Amino acid sequence: MNLHQRQTHPEYVEDCFGCKIGTLEMGVGDANSKVVMSNSKWDAELKAYRNARAQGIQPSGTSMAKVQEAVRISDKVGKAFDGNTGTFV
């Protein structure tokens, strides 16, 4: 029970501003920096994907891990790898 309810009234009252304020919940939303990727990391991933596609490699995703995996497989076999089908071009 919040301070307003203890001092004014214990039940929720529909038109009471203090009761409405008591129900608000605060959250970080989009401001959570752990969720948002930095611009430099974003640009690096897109550049790596673009370079792989220029070599004929099709990674199964645009994340750096997926791109690096497709490039590593292509380098090992000597042919462009298609991560969507699992075949070589």
**How do residues 7-19 score in pLDDT, each as one tens digit?**
888 888 888 988 8
**How do residues 30-40 score in pLDDT, each as one tens digit?**
566 566 677 88
Residue 59: CB atoms within 10 A of its CB come to 24
Cα 78 to Cα 55, 56, 57, 72, 75: the distances in Å are 11, 12, 11, 10, 5
Distance CA 16, CA 41 (A): 48
Residue 28 per-residue DSSP state: -
Q: What is the pTM of this model?
A: 0.57
Contacts of 2 (CB under 8 A, 6+ apart): 22
Q: Does the pLDDT at position 4 exceed 80? A: no
pLDDT number for residue 8: 85
Residue 48: CB atoms within 10 A of its CB come to 19
